[in-house]
Amino acid sequence: MKKSSKKQLMLWSQLVFPSSDMSMSTSGALVPKNSTFPSGIKALADYVHSKGLKLGIYSDAGYFTCSKKMPGSLGHEELDAKTFAEWGIDYLKYDNCNNGEIKPTVRYPVMTKALRSAGRPIFFSLCEWGDMHPALWGYNIGNSWRTTNDISDKWESMISRADENEVYAALARPGGWNDPDMLEIGNGGMTKDEYIVHFSLWAISKAPLLIGCDVRNVSKDTMEIIANKEVIAVNQDKLGIQAKKVRMEGDWEVWAGPLSQYRVALVLLNRGSWRSAITAHWDDIGIPPSTSVVARDLWEHKTLKTIFVGNLTATIEPHACKMYILKPVS
């Protein structure tokens, strides 16, 4: 586990967690299932790295994983961390099942220490479901921490996870990120507009962008969302400051956060069932009131012709949003 002032791009897929087929050798080391990984996981990692990608793996801070069929890492963290490093693993998602009722604040730091001495930088993702508010203590333990319970592919689940995650916005910073769980985009349970809201909120919240759909069968609409470079750039901005919900009135919300180069990221969100005009006021989003601003629409991929002073208003469809970068006019 290594801290870095530079945020890594986190477009991971759940397909890269191969430990679901693991068992243990007589020495206690994890062994990949031969029929699934005939060449071993080291060979898989080498192949993935040759493509310019990184490989993640799944384990558990318990005696067994959540399936109760595979071994967890509790009690042999040092050996497992060394094994992951030898295999060439880049990312560890560390779950919280079958943990013997030992507090996560006791269990997770043991793997932190093991990863730090494993000989390879491995991104450490704490997945204890927000149980003991890991945003309050996770920065010295891991690189990201789940702030919520598991997400599902429904509007109500997605938007509630965004709400729960936003509470801890002030605690996210380079080297340690709030994680409201993976992206459901492409799984079919929400509309395209709702998935755009999903990606916009995760991006402006500086959350890890974990692809949760089958990347082998990605639709054009899904690819348009998860491959939006302008929105990803907001997520990756070097300031690493998580946006906050700065205004709420009924079903509409204004989310905003500072970016580098004196810019501001802005999301106007309509959570309701009717079209609504939503206004962002400069004094709510951290821009001096008399400042002239140019707005870049990140989903339309166009810079608006109007120069805005004091506020910006847009009409938003139900369960939809607009996302902008606001830049002062010199």
* Alpha-carbon gap, residue 118 to 79, rounded angstroms: 9
| HEC profile of the chain | CCCCCCCCCCCEEHHHCHHHHEEECCCCCEEECCCCCCCHHHHHHHHHHHCCCCCEEEEECCCECCCCCCECCCCCHHHHHHHHHHHCCCEEEEECCCCCCCCHHHHHHHHHHHHHCCCCCCEEEECCCCCCCHHHCHHHCCCEEECCCCCCCCHHHHHHHHHHHHCCHHHCECCEEEECCCECCCCCCCCHHHHHHHHHHHHHCCCCCEECCCHHHCCHHHHHHHCCHHHHHHHCCCCCCCCEEEEEECCEEEEEEECCCCCEEEEEEECCCCCEEEEEEHHHHCCCCCCEEEEEECCCCEEEEEEEECEEEEEECCCEEEEEEEEECC
**Residue type present at position 235:** N
Predicted pLDDT of residue 25: 59
Backbone dihedral angles phi then psi of residue 106, each to the nearest 5 degrees: -95, -40
Predicted pLDDT of residue 27: 72
68-96 core/surface letters (b: 16 or more CB in 10 A; e: else):
eebbbbbebbbbbbbbbbebbbbbbbbbb
Q: pTM of the predicted model, to two decimals?
A: 0.93
The per-residue pLDDT for range 187-206, each reduced to its tens digit, is 999 999 999 999 999 999 99
* Alpha-carbon gap, residue 286 to 257, rounded angstroms: 8
Predicted pLDDT of residue 5: 46
* Beta-ladder partners of 315: 277
- For residues 270 and 251, the answer to whether their CB atoms sit within 8 Å is yes
- What residues are annotated to the active site? 95, 150
Predicted pLDDT of residue 50: 98
Lookup: tokens for 89: 């693993």
| Residues of the chain below pLDDT 70 | 1-26
Predicted pLDDT of residue 4: 56
* Alpha-carbon gap, residue 312 to 131, rounded angstroms: 39
The per-residue pLDDT for range 42-101, each reduced to its tens digit, is 999 999 999 999 999 999 999 999 998 899 999 999 999 999 999 999 999 999 999 999
Residue among 224, 156, 223 at smallest CA distance from 190: 156
